[in-house]
Amino acid sequence: MRASILVDPEKPKVSLQDVARILDEAGVEIASTRPDFAVVVGGDGVFSYYGRILSVPLLFVGVRSRTATGSKAYLAEAYLDGLKNTLKKIKAKKYTVTEYRRLEVLLDRAKLGEVFTDVSLEKGADSNALRYKLTARGRGFSFTDFFISNGVVVCTRAGSTGYYSYLDKVKLGDWLEPERSLVIRDDEIGVCHIVPTYSKREGANLHPLRYTLPWESEVKIQLVRDADARLFGLRKSRGGIHVSPEDVVTVRPSPNATRVIRVVR
C-alpha cells in the first residue's frame, strides 16, 4: 500500500522523517502522488484542516501530549506510539472507511470553503459580546434567534465533541467533567451559542442555547451591531475572517464528504 504523510505545516508535533521511518518499518510505501491513503499526524486542529480539503481516505494519528493543556486528539484513530501496529492492520485489510458529511460556508453568497468539523463566528480581541441573529430554514420549518454571546458554532457530527459539547462537561455544582461529550448523528447539524447572556426566539417564548437541525437545513448568521467579529475554521490563519453587520454568513450541507479510516478492533 502507498501512503502520504501530512503534519502541521507550521508547527509539526513530530518530524516527517520520524513518521516515514515508522511507515517503512510497517512495510508501507511512501507516496507523494496518488496515495491509497494519507497518514495525518497532529491534533484535532490538523485533522480538521486536512479533513476539509482532501478526498483520499485519512488515518488520523495523535501525539500524546506531555502537558495538561496539550492536544486531546479526540478524532485520532491511533497514536504515534501505536502507529506501526495500526498500519499492519490496514495492510491486512482489517479496517473500514467511514464517510463524514461536510458543511460549506458562504460569505455574501461567495463560497469560502468547506468544513469537516465546525465553523464558528466569535468575538475578536477588540470586542465585547457579539449581538447577532441566526435564521434557520429547512423542510417545513423556519425560525430566527437573537443572541448576545461570545459567538456561535455550527458543527457536523465529527465536530460535535468540541464547542457543542461544552455544556455536557459542566456538572451541577460547577464541577468540570472534561471527558464527557455529546456526539450528534450524521444526519444532523449542530448549533451552539457560546456563553450567552441573552437569547430570544422570534415569535416564541423560547431561549435556546444548543440544538440540532435536520441535515438539509440552511443557517444564516448576521451581526445586528458592529463588532470585532471573526469567522474561524476556514483558513490556516489564526486571525480568522473579519465579518461586518453588512455580511451574511451562510452554512449549508456540502455534496462532499471526508473519508476516515477506522481500524477493526
Grid coordinates representing 115 are 468544513
How many domains is the chain built from?
Answer: 2
For residue 244, the domain's CATH number is: 2.60.200.30
> Could you read off the pLDDT of 135-189 as tens digits, one per residue?
999 999 999 999 999 999 999 999 999 999 999 988 877 889 888 889 999 999 9
The answer on 167 and 57 residing in a single domain is no
Domain that holds residue 87: 2-93
Q: Which of the four pLDDT bands, split at 50, 70 and 90, describes residue 69?
A: low
Residues 122 and 81 in one domain: no
Which cell numbers hold the place of 89?
A: 492492520
Could you identify the residue written with the cell 509539526?
12
| Tens-place pLDDT, residues 27-55 | 999 998 999 999 999 999 999 999 999 99
C-alpha distances in angstroms, 191 versus 72, 157, 184, 226? 22, 11, 11, 22
Kindly state the helix (H) or strand (E) to which residue 179 belongs, with its residue range: none
Helix (H, G, I), strand (E, B) or coil at 49: helix
pTM of the model: 0.92
68 and 152 in a single domain? The answer is no
Are 233 and 158 in contact, with CB atoms under 8 Å apart?
no
2: part of which helix (H) or strand (E)? Answer: strand 2-6
Q: Are residues 248 and 213 in the same domain?
A: yes
User: Each residue of 76-126: pLDDT tens digit?
Assistant: 999 999 999 999 999 999 999 999 999 999 999 899 999 999 999 999 888
